[in-house]
Amino acid sequence: MKNNKEALDEEVYNEPRAQFLDSVISHLKKTEKPDLDAFCVHLKIPYKDLSLSVEPIGQILFPVTPKIAKTLITEAEPAKYGYKENTLVDRKVRDTWEISKEFIHIDRHWDEHLAAALKTIQKKLNLPEEGTLKADLHNLLIYMPGQFFKPHQDTEKAEDMLATLIVVLPSEFTGGELIIDQHGDKKKFIFAEPKDALNLVSFYSDCYHEVKEVKTGYRLALTYNLFYKSRSNSLKTNKNPGLEKAVQSYFDQSQHAKSDYIRHPLKLVYLLDHHYTRNSLEWNCLRGSDREKVSCLLACADNLGLTAHLSLADVHETWSTESNDWEWRHHRRWREDDEVGIEGTSTPEYRLIELIDDEIILRHWIARTGNKFPERDLYVQNEMVCWTKAVDQFQPFKSDYEGYMGNYGDTLDRWYHRGAIVLWKKEDDLINLFICDKKAALQNIVELLKMDLKQGHQAIHQILPYWPQDVSLFIDPEYILEFVTFVRDYNLASTLLKTLGISTLNKKNASKFLELISSYGEEWLLSITDFWRENQGYDFRESNMKELSPLLNQFGGKHKKITQWLLSDQYSSLVKNDIHEKKYSGRKEIRKSLPKKLKNLEELLRLSYAFGEIKIHDRLVSHLLNEQSIYPEVNLINLFISIDETVYLKPLKELVIRLKKEKKVPRKRGDWSIQDVIPDNCSDCEYLKIFLTSSATQKIFWPLAKDRRAHIHEIIDQMDIPVTHETIHTGSPHKLVLTKTSELFTREESRAQAIEACLARVRQLKISGEIF
Query: In terms of domains, do 78 and 209 share one?
Result: yes
Query: In terms of domains, do 650 and 562 share one?
Result: yes
Query: In terms of domains, do 188 and 304 share one?
Result: no
How many Å apart are CA 636 and CA 642, to the nearest integer? 10
Q: Cβ contacts of residue 591 below 8 Å, gap of 6+? A: 720
Paired residues of 314 in beta bridges = 361, 417
Whole-number percent of the chain with pLDDT over 70? 88
Paired residues of 197 in beta bridges = 46
Identify the CATH number of the domain in which residue 736 sits.
Answer: 3.30.1370.50
Q: What is the pLDDT of residues 153-205, one digit of tens each?
A: 876 666 678 899 999 999 999 999 999 998 888 999 998 766 779 999 999 98
User: Cβ distance 341 to 397 under 8 Å?
Assistant: yes
> Is residue 648 domain-resident?
yes
Query: In terms of domains, do 535 and 402 share one?
Result: no
Query: In terms of domains, do 331 and 414 share one?
Result: yes
Candidates 512, 522, 530, 597; CA nearest to 556 is: 522
Query: In terms of domains, do 86 and 175 share one?
Result: yes
How many Å apart are CA 505 and CA 546, to the nearest integer? 11
Name the domain boundary from 430, 457, 477: 430
117-123, long-range: CB < 8 A, 24+ apart: 117/43, 117/45, 117/200, 118/226, 120/41, 120/43, 121/41, 121/43, 121/163, 121/165, 121/200, 121/202, 121/226, 122/228
> Is residue 35 domain-resident?
no
Q: In 319-368, where does DSSP find H-type helix?
A: none
Q: What is the DSSP letter of 171?
A: B
DSSP class per residue in 501-538: -GGG-SGGGHHHHHHHHHHH-HHHHHHHHHHHHHTS-S
Identify the CATH number of the domain in which residue 219 sits.
Answer: 2.60.120
User: Cβ distance 706 to 724 under 8 Å?
Assistant: no
> Is residue 139 domain-resident?
yes
Query: In terms of domains, do 52 and 200 share one?
Result: yes
Query: In terms of domains, do 79 and 153 share one?
Result: yes
Name the domain boundary from 606, 633, 663: 663
Conformation bin of residue 364: beta by default, left when phi > 0, alpha when psi is -120 to 50: left
How many Å apart are CA 465 and CA 428, to the nearest integer? 13
Using only the alpha carbons of the chain, give its radius of gyration: 39
φ, ψ (nearest 5 deg) of residue 466 = -110, 5
The H-or-E segment that residue 307 falls in is strand 306-323
User: Cβ distance 340 to 81 under 8 Å?
Assistant: yes
Q: What is the pLDDT of residues 54-69, one digit of tens each?
A: 999 999 999 999 999 9
3-state helix/strand/coil string of 443-500: HHHHHHHHHCHHHHHHHHHHHHHHCCCCHHHCCCHHHHHHHHHHHCCHHHHHHHHCCC
Q: In 253-288, where does DSSP find H-type helix?
A: 258-263
C-alpha angle 232-238-241 in degrees, rounded to nearest 5: 155
Query: In terms of domains, do 66 and 184 share one?
Result: yes
Task: Provide the CA 505 distance to its chain's centre, in angstroms.
Answer: 27
* Domains: count for the chain: 4
List the end-to-end C-alpha distance of the chain, in Å, as a whole number.
83
Q: What is the DSSP letter of 251?
A: H
DSSP class per residue in 555-613: HTTT-HHHHHHHHHHHHHHHHHHHHHHHHH--HHHHHHHHHHHHHHHHHHHHHHHHTT-
Q: Angle, nearest 10°, between helix axes 542-555 and 587-610?
A: 0
> Is residue 419 domain-resident?
yes
Paired residues of 132 in beta bridges = 229
How many Å apart are CA 167 and CA 219, to the nearest integer? 11
Strand pairing category for 197-204 and 378-380: unpaired
Q: Rounded to the nearest 10 degrees, how much is the dihedral formed by the CA atoms of 729, 730, 736, 737? A: -100
> Is residue 340 domain-resident?
yes
729 in helix, strand or coil? Answer: coil
> Is residue 5 domain-resident?
no
How many Å apart are CA 59 and CA 169, to the nearest integer? 14
CB atoms within 10 A of CB 402: 16
How many Å apart are CA 374 and CA 311, to the nearest integer? 9
Residue 77 exposure: Cα atoms within 13 Å on the Cβ side = 10
Query: In terms of domains, do 602 and 656 share one?
Result: yes
Q: Write the CA distances from 273 to 21, 290, 621, integer angstroms.
A: 17, 6, 73
Candidates 288, 143, 134; CA nearest to 206 is: 288
Candidates 466, 274, 281, 251; CA nearest to 379 is: 466
The H-or-E segment that residue 352 falls in is strand 350-367
Candidates 8, 214, 200, 36; CA nearest to 119 is: 200
Question: Strand order of the sheet with strand 197-204?
Answer: 40-46, 197-204, 161-168, 219-229, 132-143, 97-100, 77-78
For the chain, list residues with pLDDT below 50. 1-14, 256, 258-261, 326-347, 538-540
> Is residue 755 domain-resident?
no
> Is residue 269 domain-resident?
yes
Query: In terms of domains, do 659 and 688 share one?
Result: no
Which parts of 33-147 are beta strand (E)?
40-46, 52-54, 58-60, 77-78, 81-83, 86-88, 94-95, 97-100, 104-106, 132-143
Q: What is the DSSP letter of 158?
A: S
Query: In terms of domains, do 212 and 124 share one?
Result: yes
Q: What is the DSSP letter of 40?
A: E
Q: What is the DSSP letter of 256?
A: G
| Residue 529: predicted pLDDT | 92
How many Å apart are CA 78 and CA 234, to the nearest integer? 42
**Which residues span the domain enclosing 622?**
466-663
C-alpha angle 350-355-361 in degrees, rounded to nearest 5: 120
